[in-house]
């Protein structure tokens, strides 16, 4: 009985301190509006014909995973699926230790991908778990293809919206979590950035 109570209490504590990052992406024809962990940004991208969503990540000492992803279009819900609580990697890599230099060699790659078709306005709502010391990327296949890359580490808390790798437009840093959700985080220092063709 004691061990059962202890296990339940530990599970509840883990749920409270678990790092969750809510991501919302909305396409309204002439612009992409994004909200990551309560920080909003907008990019003047005329995005059309969403055909696939891919999540790419790198393993971490606080392993990345997900909660749920929901995609809605003009006709209603397109995808409503639970993401793996811990993402699995098909490539080999070192076991993350928390040493940033060594963890550069941790496993990485595509951890989730789905094909779909959204030809008008659409919205993507996703919950991500864990810490992303390297980019965790939501790649949207369409016209043009774009991606939203997020880092949620102990120091770097930032996001980038990319249509190409060439240009970066400074935006603003992500909002820092409160102590109840991230009691070990030290700071939120890096800027948020957005890129799009012609910027």
Nearest to 15 by CA among 7, 23, 24: 7
What is the mean predicted confidence (pLDDT) over 188-199?
A: 38
pLDDT at position 9, please?
A: 46
pLDDT at position 141, please?
A: 94
Nearest to 145 by CA among 32, 68, 69: 32
What is the mean predicted confidence (pLDDT) over 35-58?
A: 87
> 117, 141 in Cβ contact below 8 A?
no
pLDDT higher than 50, residue 152: yes
- Looking only at the bridges linking them, the beta strands covering 157-162 and 20-27 are unpaired
pLDDT higher than 50, residue 11: no
pLDDT at position 15, please?
A: 44
Which residue carries 């094909």 as its tokens?
115
Ramachandran angles phi, psi of 65, nearest 5°: -165, -165
What is the mean predicted confidence (pLDDT) over 135-160?
A: 84
What is the mean predicted confidence (pLDDT) over 33-53?
A: 86
What is the mean predicted confidence (pLDDT) over 37-54?
A: 86
pLDDT at position 97, please?
A: 75
Is the bond preceding 174 in cis, omega lying within 30 degrees of 0?
Answer: no
| pLDDT tens-place string over residues 101-140 | 777 778 889 999 999 999 889 999 999 999 888 889 999 9
Ramachandran angles phi, psi of 157, nearest 5°: -130, 95
- For the chain, what percent of residues have pLDDT higher than 70? 70
């Amino acid at each position: 009985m004691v061990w059962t109570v202890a296990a339940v209490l530990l599970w509840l504590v883990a749920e409270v301190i678990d790092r969750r990052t809510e991501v919302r992406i909305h396409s309204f024809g002439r612009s992409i509006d994004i909200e990551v962990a309560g920080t909003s940004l907008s990019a003047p991208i005329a995005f059309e014909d969403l055909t696939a969503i891919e999540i790419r990540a790198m393993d971490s000492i606080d392993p990345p995973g997900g909660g749920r992803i929901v995609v809605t279009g003009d006709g209603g819900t397109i995808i409503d699926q639970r993401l793996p609580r811990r993402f699995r990697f098909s490539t080999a890599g070192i076991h993350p230790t928390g040493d940033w230099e060594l963890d550069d060699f941790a496993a990485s790659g595509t951890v989730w991908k789905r094909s779909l078709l959204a030809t008008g306005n659409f919205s993507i709502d996703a919950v991500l778990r864990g810490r992303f010391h390297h980019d965790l990327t939501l790649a949207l296949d369409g016209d043009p293809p774009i991606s939203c890359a997020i880092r949620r580490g102990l120091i770097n808390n930032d996001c980038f919206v990319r249509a190409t790798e060439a240009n970066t437009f400074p935006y603003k840093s992500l909002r820092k979590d409160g102590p109840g959700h991230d009691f070990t985080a030290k700071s939120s220092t890096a800027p948020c950035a957005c890129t799009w063709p012609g910027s």
